[in-house]
Structure 1
C-alpha cells in the first residue's frame, strides 16, 4: 500500500459520495445566511421595529452606519458588471457542459453548488441598488428611524428569500446526489 493512497482516498474526486462535498455545501450556505450585504443579522433585527419618533434611535443609527460602510463595496460600474457577467456565464456554462454532457461528477457538483450562489449574488446586487437611495435620503429628506426601518424590512425580506433559496438548493443537490449515487454505485 503506497503512502499516498490514504491522502488520495481523503481527496477523492467523487463529489456526491464524499463527506467533504457535503461539509462544503453546509458551510457555504451557513456562511451565506449569517450576513446580508455584510451587515450582521442581529443589527438588522434590532432596526426592524424602530419607532418613527423620537428620531435617532441607536438601533436605527447602527444599521445606517453599517450600510454606509458596506454598500460602497456593492457598487459596480457597467464595464465591471458586463465583464463579471460574461466571465461568470462562461465558467458556469463550461462546468454545466462538462458535468451534464460529458457526465463528470465533480463538474455536476460544482454547478449545483455555484449556480444558486450566482442567483444569490444577483439578488444581493439588486438589494444594494434598492438600499442606496434609502441611505442617501436618511437624515435629509427622511427621518433616520424611518429610513432604517424600511432598509431593515427590505433586508429581512431578502434574508427570507436567501433562506428559501438555500433550502431549495440543498434539497435539489441532495436529491440529485442521491439519484447519482443510486445510478452510479461504483462512481462511473
Structure 2
C-alpha cells in the first residue's frame, strides 16, 4: 500500500463525511449573515449605538454597495442569471441524476446563496427608491440579515439531512 492510498483511507474524501465540508458550510452561513448587502453587521449596531461618524459611515457604505450591486445587476444581470442557471442545472443533473456526491455537495452549498443575493438586490432597490436615513437603513439591513439567517438555517437543515442520508446509504452498501 502506498502513501496516497493510506492517506485517503484515513481521511475520507467524500463530501458529506468530510469535516472540512461542514466547517465550510458553517463559515459560509456565518459570514453571509454577518454581511448584509456587503455591510458588516457590527457597523450597523455601532451606528445605532454611537451615531455621528459611525452613522455617516454606515449610510455611505450602504449607498456605495447598493449602487455597485444595482449597477452590476443592471449591466450584466441577464448574463449572470443565464450562467447561474447553466451552472446550477449542470450541478443538479450531475449530482442528483448521475449521483456525483461532490456535485450534490457544491449544489447544496451554493444554491441557497442565490436567494440571499436576491434579498440583497431587493434591499438595494428598496433603499434606492427611498431617501435612506439611519432608521430605514438599519431596518432594511436587519430584515436582510434575518432573512439570510432563515435561509441559512433551512439550508443547513436540508444539507445535513441529505448528507446523513448519503452517509447512511453509502455505509449500508459498503
Same-fold call, TM cutoff 0.5: yes
Q: Where has structure 1 moved over 3 Å in runs of 4 or more?
A: 5-13, 46-50, 56-60
Taking the aligned partners of 2:122 and 2:52, their CA distance within structure 1 comes to 27
Shift of 1:167: 0.7
Query: Do 2:34 and 2:145's aligned partners in 1 also have CA atoms closer than 8 Å?
Result: no
Taking the aligned partners of 1:122 and 1:26, their CA distance within structure 2 comes to 21
What secondary structure, in the 3-state scheme, does the structure 2 residue paired with 1:90 have? helix
Segments of 5+ residues of structure 2 without an aligned counterpart are none
Aligned-residue CA RMSD in angstroms? 2.4
Residue of structure 1 in register with 2:170 after alignment:
184
Taking the aligned partners of 1:79 and 1:40, their CA distance within structure 2 comes to 25
Taking the aligned partners of 1:23 and 1:72, their CA distance within structure 2 comes to 33
Taking the aligned partners of 2:24 and 2:85, their CA distance within structure 1 comes to 22
What secondary structure, in the 3-state scheme, does the structure 2 residue paired with 1:184 have? helix
Residue of structure 2 in register with 1:161 after alignment:
147
Equivalent residue in structure 2 for 1:62, among 44, 57, 64: 57
Equivalent residue in structure 2 for 1:119, among 109, 115, 122: 115
Taking the aligned partners of 2:113 and 2:10, their CA distance within structure 1 comes to 26
Figure out how many residues of one structure are paired with residues of the other and give that number: 173
What secondary structure, in the 3-state scheme, does the structure 1 residue paired with 2:3 have? coil
Residue of structure 2 in register with 1:143 after alignment:
none
**TM-score, normalized by length of structure 2?**
0.87
Taking the aligned partners of 2:76 and 2:126, their CA distance within structure 1 comes to 19
Taking the aligned partners of 1:94 and 1:65, their CA distance within structure 2 comes to 39
Equivalent residue in structure 1 for 2:80, among 80, 84, 100: 84
Segments of 5+ residues of structure 1 without an aligned counterpart are 51-55, 139-146
Taking the aligned partners of 2:16 and 2:173, their CA distance within structure 1 comes to 9
**TM-score, normalized by length of structure 1?**
0.81
Q: Which structure shows the higher helix fraction?
A: 2
Taking the aligned partners of 2:92 and 2:43, their CA distance within structure 1 comes to 38
Provide, for residues 113-157 of structure 1, a one-character-per-residue CA deviation record: whole Å limited to 9, x for no partner.
1110111111111111111233xx35xxxxxxxx11111101101
Query: Do 2:44 and 2:58's aligned partners in 1 also have CA atoms closer than 8 Å?
Result: yes
Which protein shows a greater Rg? 1
Taking the aligned partners of 1:35 and 1:87, their CA distance within structure 2 comes to 24
